[in-house]
Structure 1
Amino acid sequence: MPQYIRKIDGGRTWFFTVNLQNRKSQTLTKHIDILRASVKKVRTRYPFEINAWVVLPDHMHAVWTLAEEDSDFSLRWRLIKTYFVKSLSDSERVPLRNEKRGEAGLWQRRFWEHQIRDAEDYKNHIEYCYINPVRHGYVQRVRDWPYSSFHRDVQGGEFPTSWGGPTNITPLPME
């Protein structure tokens, strides 16, 4: 098995993509309150700043900033996944082939991370999060997707409500 070696410093900002095993599932949006509670529980013990987050039915994208002395984003994702699965009813859980990891077959075992390099990279990844529901064809305008921190950023003056409207957006082909 390959050993992945990468330099990970504390206090950095990261972009993540986290997927369910079943890419046709609607589990994340169907159980958004459980996901939110799982994230809140993890943030209470292992704080991190949520710069952006969008939840789609079968995957999510997030941009986080960790504290200066902290670099353990993997622990946070493992706990979020575990708390989420353990809070689902038995009928919602996938066969238990990954139960020993607390994943219960629901999640893809790995996630994709990218360390944000600079202000432009940060802006691009925040916008990628927010435009994703439009690109996947779930909504015509970013503001119409309820499972996104976009609304927080509009209230904070970071984005106009009209950002990411239907013009010049090409939907991704559905798998």
Structure 2
Amino acid sequence: MPVCSKAGHLRIGRYSEPGRIYLLTAVVHDRQPIFTDWRLSRLVAQQLHQAQEEHWAEFLTWVVMPDHMHCLVELRDKTLAELMCRIKSRSSLAVNQALGRSGRLWQKGYHDRAVRKEEDVKGLARYVVANPVRAGLVIRVHDYPLWDACWL
């Protein structure tokens, strides 16, 4: 499995707290819109589901956009770095295998933001799943196939 590189400037002040909810974003290398192919984005979704089944985290909501993904996740048994390394490395392997290629799928690092206790988690979830609407990919959230939310 590939070793995840750590982008130092993104780690400054990063703290992983089990039970804390985080908003996470990972971007495809060179912003290539590889996930316009829904079959490839489903490979990423499979890794999110598998990480949840293995109790690494609970994914409250997620969306895979053409060139990035967003997740609202409650951390469980692993750190943010471990969780994101697992998702990015395993999805990279799956996507590269499907395409018959090798090389980088994701940009180094990821963006995270701890959700404050007083924040409206469902409001943040709505914001995450509305990304395809804001990007002009669809008119209604339900027209976009590459998202999920635990409240459904």
Please give the TM-score of this superposition, normalised by the length of structure 2: 0.78
Question: Would you tell me which structure has more strand in proportion to its own residues?
Answer: 2
Q: Any gaps of 5 or more consecutive residues in structure 2?
A: 1-7
State which structure, 1 or 2, has the greater radius of gyration over its C-alpha atoms.
1
- CA RMSD for the aligned pairs? 2.4
Q: Report the CA distance between 1:23 and its aligned residue.
A: 1.8
1:32 to 37, 41, 51: 41
1:75 to 69, 82, 97: 82
Per the alignment, residue 131 of structure 2 pairs with 132
Deviations 1:76-135 (A, max 9, x none): 1111111112123374545xxxxxxxxx32101111100010343423421210110001
Q: Report the CA distance between 1:75 and its aligned residue.
A: 0.8
SS in 2 for 1:89: helix
Q: Answer whether contact 2:56 2:78 (CA < 8 A) is retained.
A: no
Instruction: Give the Cα separation in 2 of the matches to 1:74 and 1:11.
Output: 15
Q: Answer whether contact 1:54 1:129 (CA < 8 A) is retained.
A: yes
**Kindly, what percent of the aligned residue pairs are identical?**
26
2:59 to 50, 57, 62: 50
Q: Answer whether contact 1:12 1:71 (CA < 8 A) is retained.
A: no
**Paired letter, 2:114:** Q
Q: Any gaps of 5 or more consecutive residues in structure 1?
A: 95-103, 157-175
Deviations 1:23-61 (A, max 9, x none): 242237341332233223333434311111111111111
Per the alignment, residue 5 of structure 2 pairs with none
Structure 2 CA distance for partners of 1:7 and 1:42, relative to 1, 3 Å? closer
